[in-house]
A and B are shown apart, each in its own frame.
Chain A
Amino acid sequence: MIRILSRDVALAVRAGGGFGLSLAFFLIVVVLVPFGVGPETAVLAPIAPGILWLGALLACLLSLDRVFALDREDGALDLLATAPVPLEGVALAKAGAHWLTTGLPLSLAAPFLAVLLGLPAPGHLWLAVSLLVGTPALSLIGTFGAALTVGLKRGGLLLSLLVLPLYVPTLIFGADVARRGAEGLALGPPLALLGAVTAGCVALLPFATAAALRVSLR
């Protein structure tokens, strides 16, 4: 499992792996928003947590269709399915690799980009925390969607439609944690709910993903 994870990270970081794509997309969104809504901090600061979370979520979505599609094309998915590793483990490793190459860099970059949107100082820490807690759920849900659509030509559209509603709880609680953090309010309940969504995804979705893969492989 660790081996699958490290291989996928290595593949993503090498040329043509699409590692920088999500990060570049996130950067572009955040840089362009002040041009769209105006540069006044009074306007930007209240919407900054929402914009940053939305940008991170859409950036995650960008690289999802690669999660299984590349392995399916070159036959590696068939070989993984016959290898002595449970498909649940493959699913978890794939989600882990996706998070390490998108969610983690996005979480670490977000506090710096938050400066561009005038997010008040205490919010930076909580923004990073909320992304670190919430983005694993995005990767796990996305991996599940990728497994459902892996057998389809141009399944990317269906994947986005399937996954977006499942992203809503994470987006609501995640942006709420960042907003309350920026305003200095108590953020226990939304942070706990955000963590609960992620924990539930870790516990359940690898099994759902493996079941979807078994159907897709036929």
Chain B
Amino acid sequence: MSGLVASDLAVARGGVPLLAGVTFDVAPGRALILTGRNGIGKTTLLRTLAGLQPPLAGRVAPGGEHIAYGAHADGMKATLSVAENLGFWATLHGAGDIAPALAAFDLDDLRDRAAQHLSAGQRRRLGLARMLLTGRDIWLLDEPTVSLDRASVARFADAVRAHLGRGGIAVLATHVELGIEAKGLDLERYRVTGATGGPGGGDIFAEGAVE
């Protein structure tokens, strides 16, 4: 496990180039926080890092087998209970017991409740608890703290810190201050200008890499 490296990465959504020349390097035990305004391509970049879509240019290492991806859509089935949902992903990833994940996100009391009867914040915690069960080194999280209360954000930050402490890597797209020691990466400088197709647009890439 040698860290997450993206070199000269260009990504597109729906055929429109969004970001180009994205270069960064995250060492084991470190976190990277992506910032940038809505629509700049944070989700697209995370999906590309996760291997769900191919980059337009550049490369990402390592591949998908090291990566756990946590999106807005958490893949939890409404008619299954919390324990059934987590149990499914746990067996799929070869993780044994779901109890630590339930405890980490305070879901013990909710384990037999159907996911459709959870509040938005509880549901979000369920989605985040899945990350613990994947056993993957690299967590990619897209707006993980949406609809979480302050106590839950703190729990989440603890979970991320514990993950980093185990030598893991986290890449988060978030605007909330988590109190995690992390590098920031502002995507604004990698934005492809003229992406909507004006004359002379499309090749004005921001220069330079982030340290």
A residues neighboring B (CB under 8 Å): 3-4, 7, 10-11, 14-17, 71, 73-85, 217-218
- Which residues of chain B are within 8 angstroms of A14 by Cβ–Cβ distance? 79-80
Quick check: A74 and B53 within 8 Å, CB to CB?
no
Enumerate 22 A-B pairs (CB-CB under 8 Å) in ascending A order: A10-B84, A11-B80, A74-B75, A74-B78, A75-B72, A76-B73, A76-B75, A76-B76, A78-B50, A78-B69, A78-B71, A78-B73, A78-B75, A79-B69, A80-B92, A82-B50, A82-B51, A84-B65, A84-B94, A217-B53, A218-B52, A218-B54
Bound complex: CA A149 to CA B52 (Å): 17
Q: Give A27 Cβ to nearest chain B Cβ, in Å.
A: 24
- Which residues of chain A are within 8 angstroms of B75 by Cβ–Cβ distance? 71, 74-80
The secondary-structure label for the interface of chain A is helix
Q: Give A96 Cβ to nearest chain B Cβ, in Å.
A: 16
| A78-B52, A79-B69, A82-B67 known; A3+B88 contact, CB < 8 A | yes
Residue B196 at the A interface, CB < 8 A?
Answer: no
| A-B contacts at CB below 8 angstroms, number | 70
Contact-size category for B:
20 to 34
Q: Which of A76, A82, A85, A217 contacts B77 (CB 8 A)?
A: A76
Q: Give A85 Cβ to nearest chain B Cβ, in Å.
A: 6
| A3-B91, A11-B79 known; A75+B74 contact, CB < 8 A | yes
Residue B64 at the A interface, CB < 8 A?
Answer: yes
| A82-B50, A82-B64, A84-B94 known; A74+B88 contact, CB < 8 A | no
Q: Which of B54, B80, B92 contacts A83 (CB 8 A)?
A: B92
> 10 closest pairs, A vs B, by CB?
A75-B73, A76-B75, A79-B75, A14-B79, A218-B53, A75-B75, A3-B91, A83-B92, A7-B88, A82-B69
Bound complex: CA A71 to CA B47 (Å): 17
